[in-house]
């Protein structure tokens, strides 16, 4: 019990002493230095600053000015303005619309077949491709191949009228199955 009180008193003593300042707050040495020559300033600073602080003060200006006059030896090729090249577009990257995610393979097959029947009524020119992907533990039914996200979103609005849970996903696409703009416009805006 006595040792715990001793430890507590020692802790309080350390906390109290560490919170108090060791120097009184006075004007900084720089306040009275204006109008004096360099030798007088150095003499005053030697008296008021510790050895480490004085050494830091002596070298501070040299450290800050060291690189201000440095000439860059950088080759001209690196100083030229950088022109960004157009990003190479991977034709296999695109978007699809996911209409179902389920653990039941029979349900996935049924939804795929229903979508094929429904989409065949939309256009006589081309059919919208349907895909089933399995990624454990779900079967995902995705439709369409879109290289442009805005077209996928526009088509998804039509699909949502029949499949309300549909949403656009980033996916690898089959570039040869991307619907032409005219076919897509016929499907989205029938006359």
Cα distances from 148 to residues 104, 115, 151, in angstroms, run 31, 22, 6
Do residues 102 and 47 both lie within one domain? no
Q: Model-level pTM?
A: 0.53
At 62, phi and psi to the nearest 5?
-65, -40
CATH code of the domain in which 98 resides: 3.30.70.1070
* Residue 20 domain boundaries: 2-65
H or E segment and range at residue 133: strand 130-135
Do residues 102 and 141 both lie within one domain? yes
Domains identified in the chain, total number: 2
For 21-24, which contacts have Cβ atoms below 8 Å and span 24 or more sequence positions? none
Do residues 115 and 166 both lie within one domain? yes
At residue 188, the pLDDT reads 76
Per-residue pLDDT tens digits for 77-110: 777 776 666 666 788 899 999 999 999 999 999 9
- On average, the pLDDT of the chain sits at 80
Do residues 183 and 107 both lie within one domain? yes
More confident residue, 181 or 128: 128
More confident residue, 54 or 169: 169
Do residues 20 and 98 both lie within one domain? no
């Amino acid at each position: 019990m006595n040792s715990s009180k001793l430890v507590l008193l020692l802790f309080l003593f350390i906390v109290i002493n560490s919170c108090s300042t060791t120097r009184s707050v006075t004007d900084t040495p720089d306040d009275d230095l204006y109008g004096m020559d360099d030798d007088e300033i150095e003499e005053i600073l030697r008296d008021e600053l510790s050895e480490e602080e004085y050494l830091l003060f002596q070298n501070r200006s040299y450290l800050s000015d060291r690189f201000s006059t440095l000439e860059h030896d950088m080759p001209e090729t690196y100083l030229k303005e950088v022109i960004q090249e157009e990003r190479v577009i991977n034709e296999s990257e695109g978007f699809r619309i996911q209409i179902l995610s389920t653990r039941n393979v029979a349900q996935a097959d049924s939804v795929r077949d229903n979508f094929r029947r429904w989409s065949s009524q939309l256009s006589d020119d081309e059919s919208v491709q349907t895909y089933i992907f399995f990624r454990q533990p779900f079967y995902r039914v995705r439709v369409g191949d879109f290289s442009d996200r805005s077209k996928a979103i526009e088509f998804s609005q039509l699909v949502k009228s029949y499949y309300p849970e549909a949403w656009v996903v980033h996916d690898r696409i089959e570039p040869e199955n991307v619907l032409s703009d005219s076919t897509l416009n016929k499907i989205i805006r029938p006359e």
